[in-house]
Structure 1
Amino acid sequence: MPYTVSSLSTMQTPQWSKEYETGFPVIDQQHKEMFGLVGELQQAMVKPNQEAEIKSLIEQLLQDTVNHFALEEGLMLEHDYPSYEEHKQIHDRLTRKIQKVLHSIETEKDTSIINTELSHFLHQWLVHHIQGQDQKMIQFFREQNIRDAIPTYV
């Protein structure tokens, strides 16, 4: 079911919390930045005449997501993470959802309805993916004692 702009105003904006921290600064920083973008996006969606801003924020969210996933996937491949394929498939699905939302905005020029793909992304990835799949990956990195192999910045 689509979300209208009015329903977005009552939607809880995900807030960064220490419980989402991985202990790897570059990954945590990228996650924090995405939380910030999602907050900005939700604020823009409840204001009138923000189509250009909404499109720009979704483009930035897509770019940041692609960059973040590339970092994670590179680390997983480099360190032979056993669940790489599963994790990458999740990344690919989430990226396609953002692309679909962006395409919808570009072709329909209508930001009054936010489809379930964006809502699903916000909720599933920001909270569930970080606490689920990413924490499993981080645990593997810790068990392999590869903390120093993960960059502190990108």
Structure 2
Amino acid sequence: MSFVITWTTEFETGIDIIDEQHKRIFEYLEEIDHAIKTHNADEVEHVIKSLIDYAISHNTFEESLMEKAGYPMLEPHHQVHEAFKARAQAYSDRLAQGEDTFRVAREIRTDIGLWLTNHIKRDDKHYVSFVKRNIEGGFVARMLGKFFR
């Protein structure tokens, strides 16, 4: 059974650079699905590593925006990101220990996909209005101006 969650407008935050990064994560999930379907273990492992690295760097970028805006819930959001990092690392460890690549990839596709959609709709939507309101007109807004609508 193939289970891929695709990007839709319901996941838009209104911060273009964040939306583009989120879209890229969805694309990685689709790439994992494709690699599973073509039974390409090397591609699966490469895409999983890329997905995990990208998602972790995206989370760091997101937190930097929250920090610059003085977002009061930064620490709890950071903890959610840290839990994600631990979960992602556990998948990497399982692959490194020789667990079946395709089984791990199917779990990642579903688990990370569901985690991501819930995180965007719940946690990320919470910080967006605060970040937009608190950095508009400031240096960060001018620096990122083209990324805001």
Coarse TM-score class (shorter-chain normalised): 0.7 to 0.9
Alpha carbons of 1:72 and 1:142: their partners in 2 closer, same or farther (altered >3 Å)?
same
Match of 1:130 in 2: 120
The normalised TM-score by structure 1 is 0.82
- Asked if structure 1 preserves the Cα contact closer than 8 Å seen for 2:59 and 2:81, the reply is yes
Q: Which has the higher helix share?
A: 2
Given that 2:94 and 2:104 are in contact with CA atoms closer than 8 Å, whether structure 1 keeps it comes out as no
Deviation at 1:63, TM superposition (A): 1.4
TM-score by length of 2: 0.84
C-alpha contact 1:97 1:117 (8 A) present in aligned 2: no
Give the percent of matched residue pairs that are identical in Structure 1 and Structure 2: 25
Are residues 85 and 124 of structure 1, via their aligned partners in 2, closer, same or farther at CA, if it must alter by over 3 Å?
A: same
> Which residue identity is paired with 1:21?
E
Name structure 2 gaps, 5 residues minimum. Answer: none
How many equivalent residue pairs? 142
Distance 1:147-1:68 versus aligned 2 partners, 3 A rule: farther
- 1:130 and 1:145, CA in 2 relative to 1: closer, same or farther beyond 3 A? same
CA distance in 2, matches of 1:42, 1:33: 14
Deviation at 1:71?
Answer: 0.7
CA distance in 2 between partners of 1:79 and 1:142 (Å)? 8
Task: Quickly say closer, same or farther: Cα 1:100–1:133, change in 2 above 3 A.
Answer: same
The one-letter code matched in structure 2 to 1:10 is: S
Compute the displacement of 1:43 (Å): 1.9
| Aligned residue in 2 for 1:14 | 5
The correspondence for 1:28, drawn from 19, 27, 36, is: 19
CA RMSD of aligned residues (A): 2.1
| Structure 2 CA distance for aligned equivalents of residues 92 and 45 of structure 1 | 27
Report SS of the residue matched to 2:114.
Answer: helix
**Does the 8 Å CA contact 1:45/1:54 hold for their aligned counterparts?**
yes
